Amino acid sequence: MAEDKDKPVIPRRRRTFVVLAVVLGFLPVVTLELGLRVLGVGDPSAVDLHAGFGSSARLFELDEVDQVYRTRLASQRFFVEQEFPAAKSPTDFRIFCLGGSTVQGRPYRPETAFGQWLELQLNAADTSRRYQSVNCGGISYASYRLRPLLQEVLTYRPDLIILATGHNEFLEDQTYAHVKQRSGLRIRLEESARSLRTVMLLRRLTGGEARQEPTEDSDETSAPSPEAVEARLDDAAGYASYHRDNEWQQRVAGGFDDSVRAMVQMCQEAEVPIVLVQLGANLRDCPPFKSEHRADIDVADEQQWQTLFDNAAAEAINSPAAALALYHQAAKIDDQFPLLSFRIARCQDRLKQFDQARRSYLLALEQDICPLRMPDHISEKLTAIAEETQVPIIDAAAAIADRSPQQIPGFNAFVDHVHPTIGGHQKMAQSIAAALQQADIVASSPVAAEQLRRLYHDHMKSLGATYFSNGRRRIGWLENWAQRQRLLDEITPVDTRGMVAAAIRSLDLNDLMAATMSLADAIATDDAAATEMLLEHSVELFQQGRTDTSRWVLEKLAKLARNEAAAGQISLGFLIIAIDEQNAAAATTAFERQAESWNDIISNDRSGWSETMPDVLERARRLLP
């Protein structure tokens, strides 16, 4: 007890001084925090640095006034704003589409993504229900990021989940490994810190915010804004971080398998139907992103390989057969170089060896050191999961390939490496609708082709004037981000097919100036072949509801094409568009151009125009004065 009496006692005044010192130390921070709140600076609700991982990172929030759920402002760096009613009527049928930027509809918006086309088609086919598709496509979202998102979505009484994922697995896995490994305590501490505006202001001042795509309001001439997701390719040395690593790829594939199986199980336990979508990719007009030699190649072999590779490149423009022979010699030294497989495919394509070309294009995709397109071992996982869990799977990749020349998808179906064209999204929606009807998930019947085209046409007309220009800007941003400029030489058109493909891509983006140049080059190179391909695409555009663009193609062909055999098909296209628009004057002009030849023109039509309106002559006679 004596020792206790001898211990120094801190006087009350000294303790008060210590407390005041601590309070005064924090006072500037507290004052700054209050000031930032008053001024509205550093709002943490505008930032979601770990969307999809934290327990509080929800995609939607309830608007108490309007009684609708809306995409949170913080999530709009990754997602596009969507909303749906908080209350659900007995006739409502809610479809949530989960996935990455393909689901979102990039480079466009959800208005032309497959979810929107599916909603239009189902509502037209079944008036007893009100179908609504809610787009939950997140920029660069891999499958494991979708798991917590699905957990949230299942609380909104969905009637159907559509899961379309697989392209982003190798983009995000290592990027977010540190996030996935964080402890629950660390996540909570980080979330608490991010609730302070002082912390968020310091992040901005030190450049700590995630990077973001340009928005609709961005100046097109300005440098790209930071993007939301800090993917590996955000770094200047991003490609250098990718190397051939089969073990790593298998681990990623295993993670994909776990995530998708978990999501299927979540839906089955909640008794909510789920369908899987097998996504496709651009084979014909997308070189591999990165190539490397096999690990054990020696210096002498590599030098010999490079000589053959360079000599083949010099021969390729004028003699694809000679180039192909040299490329095959190089392949005997090292056949694991992805760009070599792609160049072999291009030569085979030009030589009309289409079966071999398709295999070589697929090999180039599989060998890609930087796999930004879903490789086979990921696709196979998805198919196996569907079979084992008895969940419907829609093979959108096959649906798009079946509508591609020689079943090799290129710019006819994709605007870049993985993002489908507007027509590609429509084909995906048609495949999904058919599968849903077959599985008795929806009771609607198929919609007639003409009715569907009119639905497409009306919807396309409703889009704003800047819709396509914003899409072109995003494509430019995406190509800069993926550093595609360095591989443009690989897809510079050297033949008629390539020139037509370039024209088709420009038409999808509504870049009519670029389309004019490519179209003219194609016709100058091979009038008959180019005209035939472009006539077929004019039909595609008409079926997509893009009547004005379809007519534009016909007008260009009427001026540039020197192929007399195509003149009748061009007139047929003009006539069908005029009838569809109930334009008697235009129909009369088109009809009189070929007054004595219509039966022959229709019977010999190879463009597909006559298939869009089999009773064209009867309808023309009813419309003509």
Cβ neighbourhood burial of 481 (10 Å; 0-12, 13-18, 19+):
middle
d(CA 280, CA 264): 21
CATH of the domain at 347: 1.25.40.10
Residue pair 87/396 in contact (Cβ under 8 Å)? The answer is no
Decide if 90 is inside a domain. yes
Q: How would you label 341-353 residue by residue, b for 16+ Cβ within 10 Å and e otherwise?
A: bbbbbbbbbbeeb
Question: Parallel, antiparallel, or unpaired for β 393-395 and 274-278?
Answer: parallel
- Whether 134 and 163 map to the same domain: the answer is yes
Decide if 292 is inside a domain. no
Structure token pair of residue 173: 């896995």
Q: CB-based contacts of 62: which residues, under 8 Å, 6+ apart?
A: 68, 69, 86
Residue 391: DSSP 8-state = -
Q: What domain count does the chain have? A: 4
State the helix-helix crossing angle for 184-194 and 197-205, rounded to 10 degrees: 90
d(CA 462, CA 464): 7
- Whether 33 and 52 map to the same domain: the answer is no
Decide if 488 is inside a domain. no
Decide if 293 is inside a domain. no
Strand order in 83-85's β-sheet?
A: 60-63, 68-71, 83-85
CA neighbours closer than 13 Å in the CB half-sphere of residue 143: 28
Radius of gyration of the chain (CA): 29
d(CA 359, CA 344): 10
Structure token pair of residue 338: 């992805």
d(CA 520, CA 62): 53
**Domain termination site, one of 419, 448, 482:** 482
Residue pair 118/433 in contact (Cβ under 8 Å)? The answer is yes
pLDDT at 196: 58
Strands of 27-66 (E only): list them.
60-63
d(CA 373, CA 366): 9
- Whether 462 and 590 map to the same domain: the answer is no
Q: CB-based contacts of 24: which residues, under 8 Å, 6+ apart?
A: none
d(CA 465, CA 461): 9
- Whether 17 and 107 map to the same domain: the answer is no
Decide if 226 is inside a domain. yes
CATH of the domain at 604: 1.25.40
Decide if 326 is inside a domain. yes
Structure token pair of residue 25: 């130390």
Residue pair 145/138 in contact (Cβ under 8 Å)? The answer is yes
DSSP code per residue over 332-384: HH----HHHHHHHHHHHHHTT-HHHHHHHHHHHHHH-SS--S--HHHHHHHHH
pTM: 0.82
Q: For 284, left (φ over 0), alpha (ψ -120 to 50), or beta?
A: alpha
Q: CB-based contacts of 225: which residues, under 8 Å, 6+ apart?
A: 211, 212, 213, 214, 215, 218
pLDDT at 88: 95
Distance from chain centroid for Cα 189? 35
- Beta bridge partner(s), residue 97: 135, 162
| Closest to 411 measured CA to CA, from 427, 422, 395 | 422
| Dihedrals phi, psi of 81, to nearest 5 degrees | -60, 130
Residue pair 473/224 in contact (Cβ under 8 Å)? The answer is no
In angstroms, the first-to-last Cα distance of the chain is 120
- Whether 194 and 58 map to the same domain: the answer is yes
CATH of the domain at 454: 3.40.50.1110
| Closest to 358 measured CA to CA, from 251, 265, 280 | 280
- Whether 334 and 351 map to the same domain: the answer is yes
CA neighbours closer than 13 Å in the CB half-sphere of residue 416: 26
- Whether 63 and 156 map to the same domain: the answer is yes
**Domain termination site, one of 428, 448, 482:** 482
Q: Which residues constitute the domain of residue 556?
A: 493-623
- Beta bridge partner(s), residue 395: 278
| Dihedrals phi, psi of 134, to nearest 5 degrees | -105, 120
Residue for token pair 């689901």: 103
d(CA 269, CA 150): 13
| Closest to 234 measured CA to CA, from 553, 554, 481, 545 | 481
> What sign results for the dihedral spanned by CA atoms 300, 304, 306, 307?
positive
- Whether 31 and 65 map to the same domain: the answer is no
Decide if 78 is inside a domain. yes
Q: Report mean pLDDT in 10-residue bins for the chain, 625 residues.
A: 50 64 64 65 46 61 94 89 95 97 94 97 94 95 93 97 94 49 47 53 44 42 37 52 84 93 97 96 94 93 96 94 98 96 97 97 95 93 96 93 92 93 95 92 86 96 90 76 64 92 94 95 94 96 96 95 86 95 92 83 90 93 86
d(CA 265, CA 255): 15
**Domain termination site, one of 482, 510, 525:** 482
Decide if 312 is inside a domain. yes
- Whether 224 and 349 map to the same domain: the answer is no
- Whether 243 and 166 map to the same domain: the answer is yes
> What sign results for the dihedral spanned by CA atoms 59, 63, 69, 71?
negative
- Whether 383 and 274 map to the same domain: the answer is yes
- Whether 24 and 47 map to the same domain: the answer is no
